[in-house]
Amino acid sequence: MMRPATSPWETASHALAVPFVTAALLLGGCGSTVADSTAPTAPAPSTEGLQEHRGEAQGTTYSIKYVSDDRLEDAVFEDILEMVDREVNLWRPDSRINAINAWDRTDSLFGFVDSTQIIGPLWALSEELHELTRGAFDPTVSPLVELWGFGLSEMGKVGEREVDSVMAFVGLLPDRFDMNEEEEDGWYKATWVRKGDPRAALDFNAIAQGYTVDLLMEALRERDILNAMVELGGEVVCRGVNPGGEPWRIAVDRPVEGSGAGDRSFELVVSVRDKAICTSGSYRKFHEVDGRKMSHTIDPGTGYPAHNGLLSATVMAPTAAYADALATAFMVLGAEQTKGFLSLHAHLGLDVLLMSDDGAGGYEVWTSPGFDAVSTRPS
């Protein structure tokens, strides 16, 4: 999930009040993949020609590795990270998404020029994924995240009455929250947001880091760098091969409560080439209420934390935005519905690892055939 940036950057967003007209036309992830070309059980590859950039962004860390004789300027990546941050970081007061969420008019529209083309594509992807998952992925879930104390707010009293009152303005429906891009002579002109309730709000945290990883990889491709690995907060995309000529090797954590960067155990090591791999899990971030663990993954259909026994979902997909968002959606759906989804949508080219509570203090592992084919157990 994204956190405040260390250096503020004023946005170009501005609110335009106009008469109300009909406008035609994201939950925080919990990454637990370790991106490293020298992951456990892998022979150490050559580091000749390997360039690496590391740093902090979006409240987490990033690592960018690529095979090239020349090292790019850090600004190539820092500018992209800052651009996404100032658009969709909920923990940054001056972000554009906070300006959208603060708009409290239902008789007029909020307008802005989406000069970075971050918000528009994220909205379009979110609409697509919302329909694909039948609502399991929903960027309007933000008020529920706040209600349950997983956002900027502390958790207070939460019961059926409180959940029902918030559910009244949550949902990706045109009469609750809508966004439209206006064009003139075929050219983009402005973006308009309509709210059916002033309390409606967006949260792209379940897709923004994956989308950022895709943008960083695209920056490498534009510079003719075709062998690379980009990781941000556990969301990973790999292209080509590592310096040893082998697929990049990515380790996936066991779903063990309390595991962290300095105390990790790995379930599988995955060979990844020309795909993204992202993980969402419920075992690290939760509240305990009356002895019951309440996951940070909120089910948009019920308004309550997902409670289906699924501890983590790791998704390999063509893009990190898809993998990131679907990992969250699968945490909402649970293991059995996710398996059904994969059967129904085999054309998407997804490979998935699911780890579920076995009811006896441990967990059970399920992998799709494609995932199993590229995975090994760490020694």
The boundaries of every CATH 3.10.520.10 domain in the chain are 33-72+225-376, 80-195
The model's pLDDT over 250-306, given as tens digits with 9 standing for 90+, comes to 999 998 765 555 556 899 999 999 999 999 986 555 445 555 555 678 999 999 998
% of residues, the chain, pLDDT over 90: 70
Fold assignment, 33-72+225-376: T-fold (3.10.520)
Residue 184: its pLDDT value, please? 93
Work out the pLDDT band at 29, boundaries 50, 70, 90: very low
Share of the chain above pLDDT 70, in %: 80
13 in Cβ contact with 99 (< 8 Å): yes
- Residue 306 is predicted with a pLDDT of 87
Residue 281's pLDDT is what? 86
Whether the per-residue pLDDT at 216 is higher than 50: the answer is: yes
Beta partners for residue 312, in sequence order? 281, 355
On whether the CB atoms of residues 207 and 325 are closer than 8 A, the answer is yes
pLDDT of residue 82: 96
Q: Could you give the residue ranges of the DSSP H alpha helices within the chain? A: 75-88, 96-102, 119-132, 142-147, 160-167, 208-222, 320-333, 335-344, 369-373
* Phi, psi dihedral angles at 203 (to 5 degrees): -145, 110
Which candidate, 131, 125, 118, places its Cα nearest to that of 173?
131
Q: How far is CA 333 from CA 171, 231, 254, 328, in A?
A: 17, 26, 20, 9
- For the domain 80-195, what is the CATH code? 3.10.520.10
Residue 347, pLDDT score = 94
Cα 296 vs. chain centroid, distance in angstroms?
A: 14
Give the CA distances from residue 189 to residues 124, 178, 184, 265, in Å, rounded to whole numbers and listed in that order.
17, 17, 6, 50
Alpha-carbon torsion 230, 236, 238, 244, what sign? positive
Predicted local confidence at residue 49, as pLDDT:
86
* Mean pLDDT in residue range 129-134: 97
Alpha carbon distance 24, 179 (integer Å): 8
Over residues 333-340, mean pLDDT:
97
145: left (phi over 0), alpha (psi -120 to 50) or beta: alpha
* pLDDT of amino acid 12: 30
* pLDDT score recorded for residue 265: 83
Question: What is the pTM (predicted TM-score) of this model?
Answer: 0.85
Question: Looking at per-residue confidence, does 1 or 51 come out higher?
Answer: 51
